[in-house]
Chain A
Amino acid sequence: MALDSKIPAGPLADKWTNYKNKVKLVNPANKRKLEIIVVGTGLAGASAAATLAELGYKVKSFCFQDSPRRAHSIAAQGGINAAKNYKNDGDSVYRLFYDTVKGGDFRSREANVHRLAEVSVNIIDQCVAQGVPFAREYGGLLDNRSFGGAQVSRTFYARGQTGQQLLLGAYQALERQIGLGNVKQYSRHEMLDLVVIDGKARGIIARDLVTGELERHFGHAVLLCTGGYGNVFFLSTNAMGSNVTAAWKAYKKGAYFANPCYTQIHPTCIPVSGDYQSKLTLMSESLRNDGRVWVPKTQADAQAIREGRKKPTDIAEGDRDYYLERKYPSFGNLAPRDISSRSAKEACDDGRGVGKTGLAVYLDFADAIKRLGRDVIEARYGNLFEMYHHITNEDPYEVPMRIYPAVHYTMGGIWVDYELMTSVPGLYALGEANFSDHGANRLGASALMQGLADGYFVIPYTIGSYLSGEIFTQAIPTDHPAFEEAEKNVRDRISTLLSINGKRSVDDFHKELGKIMWDHCGMARNAEGLTKARTMIRELRDEFWKDVKVTGTADSFNPDLEKAARVADFLELGELMVLDALNRNESCGGHFRTEYQTEDGEAQRNDEQYTYVAAWQFNGLDNDPTMHKEELIYENVQLAVRSYK
């Protein structure tokens, strides 16, 4: 099947307006008859479920957590971008569009990104109307701050809890619809397969995590709003439950998986402290507004710090290397995430890392405290400082923070067209689960924007294009053979997992997979390592199915079993990521191939050969997937070397 991205014709700035004017509508009487399944209740899922229910569709909403409010969007700290230009600093829809395309290292779809920039302003309006308590100035108007990769202040925020407040806004809108009877909520339910009938997505198999019962649910359309797959690395800033399972099942049922190798490694996380570590904690990128990143200039000083002979405050100003300011004078500490992360890795690889492990750099607030006073810093970042203190037992007001990059976000995901529909008709992917807007690297404060854009303002229009053709489709009874078969497959997989009764725990395998991914498909990759990694992953997967130990039963609340099923999917995904990384013989954004770099170590893109989206089609685990190319056509932006110098 050729990939049709369905980008509307016409000038960039008019595409979305033209689309909306022409898209087919579904009349209210028909909407009542159409059922939509929304999987996931993060920003994308909750906003989509609420909005579609407001429009009159019958919605079923699923989440594996105990409440829709727990989805991991809640943990986003820094903020949400919008081209409001409230600061009068020259921002515009075009600039937000351009910054996002450039930030994505020219690997995203122009039309999608422009639409995102357009609706960004509506998001802020909508959220404020819902009562999201954004930060305000004394005059009562909204405050903004600046974020990495941008030279304007366009980021709206609610202390260090922006994701929480936005999610609660969407959650409350969703709960309102649940209260009105327009949405049926299924919490502690996990989607374990997609049901495809006559080539169209028609439902899901979900497991009630409390009783273990498998349920069949029909929908005229299925929306996957299931987030990213960063937990393939075991250690990431994702929540413990974040997983790829729903997206992976869709992939195995025919949805193409696009650009899986694009992973974002966030530069400001709290470093790993030991091998028992279960997850990594992000310190908001907003900290880089006032914090200065440095390591000692000499290896000797760094070693002295690692061994505890010197304290960071002992290093004289002249002996410190503020490497981001040195290398990228115009963006300095606010250089984009991929660049900052890689620079940190380079400094540590050079033997100048700090902390006991040598895998950390300093984020220093001494200057900011001197300049602005402790009170101002406390007002801006108080809760983050507290969190850091809590975790590390070090007071960041006194000693510089130690930070190190960690897996944070995945730009890749299910391939979707302009309407957010996947290659399976009737199946949609929204938010981090799709691939579309961030190219090879996502800018800070753009994930919240995309999740809400997709859910509040894109899908309510685009879904009409498909559902208007479905108004005569009656609800398909769930005893249809396709449901039977899907349920049987799920049941078999579960009983296999429980019957292996091997020696190694699920976490053992997950940790090992994570290490392979981090070492060979992390911040820096090369053909040799990737090839090796592919073999290692296959071997590990075989071992998993021979030697994993899963306790408990299928028909009860069994977190061990849930985890096993998720890790089994990660073991398949990992291989696809490696394959995609091997295929992309260039460095761009979050994908850095050591073979492809400039003399001064910057990423070297290959626009001639790789300005495309790699969308992978599943052909069975024993065969290589087929790659479909979607050429990226840049009509409005000149492809340039991404310079933040």
Chain B
Amino acid sequence: MNFKLRIWRQADSKSNGKLVEYSISDVNPDMSFLEMMDVLNDRLVKEGQEPVAFDHDCREGICGMCSMYINGRAHGPMKLSTTCQLYMRNFEDGETITIEPFRSAAFPVIKDLSVDRTAFDRIIAAGGYVGVSTGQAQDANAIPIEKHHADMAMDAAACIGCGACVAACKNSSAMLFVSAKVSHLALLPQGQAERKTRVLNMVEQMDEEGFGSCTNTYACEAECPKGISVTNIARLNREYIKASFSGD
């Protein structure tokens, strides 16, 4: 297979970037998208050019590090998959593929396709945990948890923190990410003690980071590689409103 690639090149966060064209031929359809990028980079290195910087690590769709905006979609055209799980057979031979970084004021570009997503870490640090220090735990089976709730909590906890929700949202809103963590912990008995402060603090931090607000277009749900549902955002709203208006 042959492709024309248009790749965003940007030297660092302060420079202006632009799309640069490359062509690549003899691509095996069973190659993953990132392997295609490897082949391109290998060629660029041998030609003495700087390879394209992009984030990636586990290459099995779980670490959340890969982050490209491919042909106008976060993680490319496939549903429920990350960029690293994309295969060249998902594209048409001869196609032009445009590759950009995730764009958001809260995710500044580091170089080319790499962006800084530490805003997510700071949101978790603001309250996305159960405050239990090591050694304080009671027996694991002391608190039975309704399977239905445990399953819903697991659905929310499946978030990999990749930021596709932010990238896809026209407002760069981080509500899906935040709601996934708030839901995961609000659904479990372990999360009850900090339920109110958690949601208040996490939302405050989210707003401080410069993410936009949620206008319920649900683009995030459609692009989330883990299928996190927007019903979690409804839960986040509910938790936040309840916590704000709570009388005690």
- A and B touch in their complex, CB below 8 angstroms: yes
Give the B-binding residues of A (Cβ under 8 A).
47, 50-51, 54, 65-72, 74-75, 84, 86, 122, 124-131, 133-142, 158-159, 161, 164-165, 168, 171-173, 175-176, 178-179, 185, 187, 210, 239-241, 273-274, 276-279, 281-282, 386-387, 390-391, 393, 456-457, 460, 503-508, 549, 551-552, 556-560
Which B residues touch A75, using CB under 8 A? 58, 60, 62-63
In the complex, residue of chain A having the shortest beta-carbon distance to the beta carbon of B132: A129
Residue contact A50 to B161, C-beta cutoff 8 Å: no
Query: Chain A interface: which of B68-76, B118-126, B165-173?
Result: B118-126
Is there a chain A Cβ closer than 8 Å to B61's Cβ?
Answer: yes
Residue contact B46 to A503, C-beta cutoff 8 Å: yes
Which A residues touch B38, using CB under 8 A? 276, 278, 507
Residue contact B39 to A276, C-beta cutoff 8 Å: yes
Is there a chain A Cβ closer than 8 Å to B34's Cβ?
Answer: yes
Distance from A396 Cβ to chain B, minimum over Cβ atoms (Å): 16
Q: A75-B63, A239-B57 are in contact. Are A456 and B190 (CB under 8 A)?
A: no
State the total of A-B contacts with C-beta under 8 angstroms. Answer: 224
Is there a chain A Cβ closer than 8 Å to B51's Cβ?
Answer: yes
Q: What sequence of 0s and 1s flags, for each residue 10-22 of chain B, a beta carbon within 8 Å of any chain A beta carbon?
A: 0110000000000
Give the A-binding residues of B (Cβ under 8 A).
11-12, 28, 30-32, 34-35, 38-39, 41-42, 44-46, 48-51, 53, 55-65, 80-81, 85, 87, 89, 110-111, 114, 116-118, 120-121, 124-141, 143-147, 150, 153-154, 157-158, 160-161, 184-185, 188, 190-191
List 6 A–B pairs whose Cβ atoms lie within 8 Å, in order of A's numbering. Answer: A72-B57, A175-B125, A239-B59, A241-B57, A273-B30, A276-B39
Which A residues touch B63, using CB under 8 A? 65, 70-72, 74-75, 239
Contact of A391 among B11, B87, B139 (CB under 8 A): B87
Residue contact B57 to A176, C-beta cutoff 8 Å: no
Nearest 3 A/B pairs, CB to CB = A140-B144, A179-B125, A172-B129
Q: A69-B121, A125-B139, A559-B53 are in contact. Are A387 and B60 (CB under 8 A)?
A: yes
In the complex, residue of chain A having the shortest beta-carbon distance to the beta carbon of B154: A133
Residue contact A161 to B62, C-beta cutoff 8 Å: yes
Contact of A390 among B46, B85, B144 (CB under 8 A): B85
Q: A66-B65, A69-B121, A276-B35 are in contact. Are A456 and B153 (CB under 8 A)?
A: no
Which B residues touch A507, using CB under 8 A? 38, 42
Given contacts A141-B141, A173-B133, A239-B59, 11 further A-B contacts (CB under 8 A): A66-B114, A66-B116, A74-B58, A129-B130, A136-B144, A165-B157, A240-B59, A278-B35, A278-B59, A558-B53, A560-B45
B65, B87, B128, B143 interface centre (most CB from chain A within 10 Å): B65
Q: In the complex the two chains form, what is the Cα distance from A436 to B210 in whole Å?
A: 46
Residue contact B61 to A70, C-beta cutoff 8 Å: no
Distance from A83 Cβ to chain B, minimum over Cβ atoms (Å): 12
Q: In the complex the two chains form, what is the Cα distance from A372 to B245 in whole Å?
A: 49
